[in-house]
Amino acid sequence: MHNNYWELSVELTPDVSTSISFDVNIIIPESKATDRFVVNFEQTNLGTDEVVLNSPMVVYPNPVKVR
């Protein structure tokens, strides 16, 4: 999560609850801007580059099989 006003980023993790305190000053437009906070998502590869060819490997359901 990025705070555009403070120019500060905090990493959010799925297994931890995160609480962020902030103040709004009505005199400073940036502190109450609608785009003050932005959540950025990073693409992650869930696969592996390491495949052992002599081990049994099963993919179920078979994504190639036409039904």
What pLDDT does residue 30 have?
94
Q: Above pLDDT 70, what percent of the chain?
A: 73
What pLDDT does residue 42 have?
81
Average pLDDT rounded to a whole number, residues 47-52: 70
Question: Helices in 1-67 by DSSP H: which ranges?
Answer: none
**Per the confidence metrics, is the pTM higher than 0.85?**
no
Under a CB-based contact definition with an 8 Å cutoff, are residues 32 and 26 in contact? yes
Average pLDDT rounded to a whole number, residues 37-61: 75
CA 6 to chain centre: 20
Q: Above pLDDT 90, what percent of the chain?
A: 42
